[in-house]
Amino acid sequence: MLTLVRHGESSANAAGLLLGRTDAPLTEKGWRQAAAIGALLGPVTRLVSSPLARARDTASLLDLGLEVEIDERWIEVDYGEHEGRPLGQVPAEVWRHWRADPHYRPLGGESLAEVAGRVSAACEELFSADGQGARSTHGDVVVVSHVSPIKAAVAWAIGADAGLAWRLHLSTGSVTRIGWGATGPVLHLYNAQPSSPA
């Protein structure tokens, strides 16, 4: 099973900023969210993380006793010129372009289609039949990542295009699970959250 964990709330999330590659720290709520996620996890054989601090800190707080493997493919989308802007200050025309075209790339940034490409490759590698990945019967692979890559993994699992991202909500400190069925990936759980932190 592949278990995808969205990092706990960061200071930029709490401030309503468009947060991509900026290394914003976890808030107190984010630390509580991350610490509570462990209750939703079963046996884990591998722990993978985005290189960004909010993901790495969340991975550490899971307290799984495993070395954290860094995989750049799980990093958040690059918002380019819109990085760090309040959501309400992104021009309406930009939102229209983004929603209409998965290949839309903001200046200096990355498209959702590009995110989907790198995440699909990472998922396919984790589900390869080598016995070391998410098909293992000994435990799950946990990946700590961000909103856009996790939505891209869900789209990969259900055979949807990158535009699916606009139709999904994913909370900080949440868990999504993808398994492997007779014909390929199967979405088992989406946006599950521990009941305690608020």
CB 140 within 8 A of CB 134: yes
Phi, psi angle pair for 194, to nearest 5°: -60, 150
Query: What contacts 127, CB < 8 A, 6 or more positions away?
Result: 2, 133, 134, 135, 180, 185
Q: Which of 76, 83, 110, 146 is catalytic?
A: 76
* DSSP codes of every residue in 133-148: STT-SS-EEEEEE-HH
Concerning whether 110 is annotated as a catalytic residue, the answer is: no
Amino acid at position 8, single letter: G
Q: Measure the CA–CA gap between 36 and 28, rounded to whole angstroms.
A: 13
Concerning whether 7 is annotated as a catalytic residue, the answer is: yes
Query: What contacts 181, CB < 8 A, 6 or more positions away?
Result: none
Q: Measure the CA–CA gap between 122 and 142, rounded to whole angstroms.
A: 13
Q: Which of 7, 9, 110, 146 is catalytic?
A: 7
CB 50 within 8 A of CB 121: no
Query: What contacts 195, CB < 8 A, 6 or more positions away?
Result: none
Active site residues: 7, 76
